[in-house]
């Protein structure tokens, strides 16, 4: 494994920690600021929207500098945003800090995916992307539970200060280990925008929005759902997040392995399984044992979609992958924002703490339909080309 992939995984670890740790701290943050838990869920929505906006914006701004330099600048921005979150005196400034940190997220994973793919042979690209995303999944096994523990024991502000320190470590790792890859000849905004003319690129991004949104519909409100419905103690939320992270880790590895072999079948299995498990979560949430198993499965099936979806976009974007790759990372977080908002809406409507799981199941099922449609269009395209030639 190239050491540069390790450096990218370190950066992903820091970003993954800050993205997911807030979910285990929503009750504490809501209590300190005097807002409701669904309102505190805006910290998830705001972060996700920031990723959606920041992914193309930061990528475009970085087209004139080397990818390594841009990755370092992004980690610096990430660090500043988390420091602001740690000291924010009001809920509004807390949201602002989350948004500042989130601006680095999409471009980091988008540019990082391209760099990772360039460092290995063509038949190992999905595996290289999965290696980088391993940092994100390990964050959910180590970083998020540790951050949740620190937040519950010392205070959530200490958690965000620690995440800012992770940002510094990530920046130093990139500076030392990532090589100065040559800039792509003729790379400019107009060329990058051509990728969006391909319907398959847009379909892959729509799958990303809906599929990963299904995960976040349920997981955003995991803390109140597990304490109020499954009757876990507040401290047990930390270990449930470890289970979720373990599922993410395993799903990411499997997704990376099989996406290099049979990409679309991997998507069918993971999206179909995710829709089924999220639907069952409305029932299993009432049992401690079954709820824990379901949390593991949601993490595994959800993250099994990440390497194949990211590789699908890179493959379909052809010679202009950087912006499309970054925008697809934004699509993951657009799904997060949509799902967090929809989940909060059904809770506020009085449908109960398990209602977001139904939202997630419907989103994942819609993503599966799009995957089947995308494959059907792809099969039809060669036939149409042959018919045109024959005519």
Helix (H), strand (E), coil (C) string for the chain: CCHHHHHHHHHHHHHHHHHHHHHHHHHHHHHHHCCCHHHHCHHHHHHHHHHHHHHHHHHHHCCCCCHHHHHHHHHHHHHHHHHHHHHCCCHHHHHHHHHHHHCCHHHHHHHHHHHHHHCCCHHHHHHHHHHHHHHHHHHHHHHHHHHHHHHHHCCHHHHHHHHHHHHHHHHHHHHHHCCCCCCCCCCCHHHHHHHHHCHHHHHHHHHHHHHHHHHHHHHCCHHHHHHHCCCCCCCHHHHHHHHHHHHHHHHHHHHHHHHCCCHHHHHHHHHHHHHHHHHHHHHHCCCHHHHHHHHHHHHHHHHCCHHHHHHHHHHHHCCCHHHHHHHHHHHHHHHHHHHHHHHHHHHHCCCCCCHHHHHHHHHHHHHHHHHHHHHHHHHHHHHHHHHHHHC
Residue 38, CB-side half-sphere exposure with 13 Å CA sphere: 14
pLDDT tens track, the chain, 391 positions: 677 888 888 888 989 898 878 877 888 899 999 988 878 888 887 887 888 788 788 877 777 778 888 889 999 999 999 999 999 999 999 999 999 999 998 888 878 877 887 777 777 777 777 788 788 778 878 888 888 889 888 899 999 999 999 899 889 888 888 887 666 554 566 666 666 778 888 888 899 899 888 998 888 888 888 999 998 987 788 788 788 888 988 998 888 778 777 888 889 999 999 999 999 999 999 999 999 999 999 999 998 988 888 888 877 776 666 777 778 777 877 887 788 889 888 998 989 899 999 999 999 999 999 999 988 888 776 544 434 334 4
Q: Are the C-beta atoms of 310 and 201 separated by less than 8 Å? A: no
Alpha-carbon gap, residue 146 to 150, rounded angstroms: 6
Record the tokens describing residue 327, joined without a space: 């925008």
Beta carbons of 336 and 329 less than 8 angstroms apart: no
CA distance 296 to 109: 24
The predicted pLDDT at position 94 comes to 93
pLDDT given at position 189: 60
The CA distance from 386 to 277, in Å, is 41
Residues 108-132: b if buried by 16+ CB within 10 A, e if exposed: bbbbbbbbbbbbbeeebbbbbbbbb
The CA distance from 50 to 104, in Å, is: 9
Per-residue model confidence (pLDDT) at position 184: 55
286, 231 contact by CB (below 8 A):
no
User: Residue 320: what pLDDT?
Assistant: 65
Q: Is the alpha carbon torsion for 124, 125, 131, 137 positive or negative?
A: negative
What's residue 98's pLDDT?
93
- Residue pair 342/360 in contact (Cβ under 8 Å)? The answer is no
At residue 389, the pLDDT reads: 35
């Amino acid at each position: 494994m190239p050491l540069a992939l390790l450096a990218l995984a370190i950066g992903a670890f820091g970003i993954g920690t800050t993205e997911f740790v807030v979910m285990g701290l929503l009750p504490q943050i809501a209590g300190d600021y005097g807002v409701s838990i669904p309102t505190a869920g805006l910290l998830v929505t705001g972060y996700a929207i920031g990723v959606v906006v920041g992914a193309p914006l930061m990528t475009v701004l970085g087209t004139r500098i080397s990818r390594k330099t841009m990755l370092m600048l992004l980690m610096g921005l990430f660090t500043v945003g988390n420091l602001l979150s740690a000291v924010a005196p009001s809920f509004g400034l807390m949201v602002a800090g989350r948004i500042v940190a989130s601006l680095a997220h999409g471009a980091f994973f988008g540019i990082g995916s391209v760099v990772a793919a360039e460092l290995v042979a063509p038949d190992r690209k999905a595996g290289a992307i999965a290696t980088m995303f391993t940092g994100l999944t390990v964050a959910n096994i180590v970083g998020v539970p540790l951050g949740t523990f620190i937040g519950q024991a010392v205070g959530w502000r200490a958690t965000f200060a620690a995440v800012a320190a992770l940002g510094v470590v990530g920046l130093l790792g990139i500076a030392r280990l990532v090589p100065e890859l040559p800039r792509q000849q003729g790379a400019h905004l107009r060329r990058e925008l051509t990728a969006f003319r391909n319907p398959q690129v847009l379909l892959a991004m729509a799958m990303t929005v809906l599929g990963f949104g299904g995960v976040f519909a349920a997981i955003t409100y995991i803390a109140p759902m597990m304490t109020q419905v499954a009757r876990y103690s507040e401290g047990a939320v930390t270990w449930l997040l470890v289970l979720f992270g373990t599922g993410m880790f395993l799903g990411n590895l499997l997704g990376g392995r099989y996406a290099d072999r049979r990409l679309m079948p991997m998507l069918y299995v993971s999206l179909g399984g995710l829709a089924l498990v999220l639907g069952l979560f409305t029932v299993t949430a009432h049992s401690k044992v079954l709820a824990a198993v379901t949390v593991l499965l949601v993490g595994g099936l959800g993250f099994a979609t990440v390497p194949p979806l990211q590789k699908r976009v890179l493959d379909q974007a052809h010679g202009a992958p950087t912006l499309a790759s970054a925008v697809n990372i934004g699509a993951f977080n657009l799904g997060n924002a949509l799902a967090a908002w929809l989940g909060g809406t059904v809770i506020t409507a009085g449908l109960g703490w398990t209602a977001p799981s139904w939202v997630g199941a419907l989103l994942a099922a819609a993503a599966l339909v799009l995957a089947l449609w995308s494959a059907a269009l792809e099969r039809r395209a060669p036939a149409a080309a042959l018919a045109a030639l024959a005519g």
